[in-house]
Amino acid sequence: MLTIDLRGNLAVITGASGMLGRVIARTFADCGADLVLHYFHGKDEVEALAGELRRKTGRRVMTVQADITSAEDVQRMKQEVTGRIGVPDILVHNAVIQYDRKPIIEQDLAAFDSQYQSCVMQTVHMTQAFVPEIIAKGNGGRIVVINTELASLAEETWGAYTAAKRGLDGLVRVLARELGQHQITVNQVAPGWTITENDRRNHTESQPDYEKSVPLGRRGTDEEIAQMCAFLASPLASFTTGAYIPVSGGRVMPAI
């Protein structure tokens, strides 16, 4: 019987104070990983999550604050992480800046910059800060990047987000080629419109108009996204790199 076993691994999860980030953290802890939970805002949420995971799983869990759009702040975060808990084996790039969506002709220019900085440059900063020491460990590694189905669909009012995520896709593919010689895999998980705790709280899980466009006829859940992340972070995905994997119920089907 195959199991997703992350025991003996240390994972850094950015944006761990967010809805999806918290579920990814719980899933990784359940699979045996020790964790570094990053946040920018949301300290209370992350500290509560860290306490929960320590009690329930016995894993080592560290929290750290940083601005993932700042190279200096990410370098400082790396120093804190390696100094306190060690060099990670897994990086999960989940953080993103939220903004008010508008048609491109009405969208403020700051939104385009914020999306580029939080999507593309986050991965640049995290790579330059953490990957040299991961390479030096000599044990390979995993980078899992959260993208979106919208990078393929290019829907209205999502211009800034789509542009950034498509740029991220190109960066990740190059990075997969560059890091392959070190047995570090780099993959993208591309969720559809995902059910989160907010939906469960507000009873908004069902969105009929959206569900009509999904071959499986429903929205995916945050647990389903987190499970794909855990798979890609595990030894089961040791020969998968450079992939863009939609978890969207068939709404996106990349062509060959």
Convert 155-180 to b/e letters by CB count within 10 Å (16 or more is b): eeebbbbbbbbbbbbebbbebbeebe
For residue 131, CA distances in Å to 125, 143, 167 come to: 10, 9, 20
pLDDT of residue 240: 98
Average pLDDT over residues 174-188: 98
How large is the average pLDDT for residues 150-169? 96
Mean pLDDT to the nearest integer, 52-76: 97
Between CA 254 and CA 104 the distance in angstroms is 25
Residue 256 confidence (pLDDT) above 90: no
- Tokens 């076993």 correspond to 5
Please state the rounded mean pLDDT for residues 147-156: 95
Cβ-based neighbours of 44, under 8 Å, separated by 6 or more = none
> Over 90: is that where the pLDDT of 128 sits?
yes
Instruction: Write down the mean pLDDT value for the chain.
Output: 97
Confidence of residue 160 (pLDDT cuts 50, 70, 90): very high
What's the mean pLDDT in 185-198? Answer: 97
Residue among 201, 96, 187, 78 at smallest CA distance from 136: 78
Sort strands 90-93 and 34-39 into parallel, antiparallel or unpaired.
unpaired
Homologous superfamily in CATH for domain 10-247: NAD(P)-binding Rossmann-like Domain (3.40.50.720)
pLDDT at 245 over 90: yes
pLDDT mean over 31-58: 97
Residue-level pLDDT at 53:
98
Indicate the pLDDT class of residue 1, thresholds 50, 70 and 90. confident
Residue that the structure tokens 């989940």 belong to: 94
Rounded Cα distance between 142 and 91, Å, is 6
* pLDDT score of 143: 98
For the chain, the structural domain boundaries read: 10-247
Q: Quick one: pLDDT at residue 255?
A: 86
Whether residue 189 is predicted with pLDDT greater than 90 in this model: the reply is yes
- Please classify residue 76 by burial: count the beta carbons closer than 10 Å to its beta carbon, then call 0-12 exposed, 13-18 middle and 19+ buried: middle
How large a percentage of the chain has pLDDT more than 90?
Answer: 98
CB within 8 Å of 217: residues ≥ 6 apart: 211, 249
Quote the pTM value: 0.96
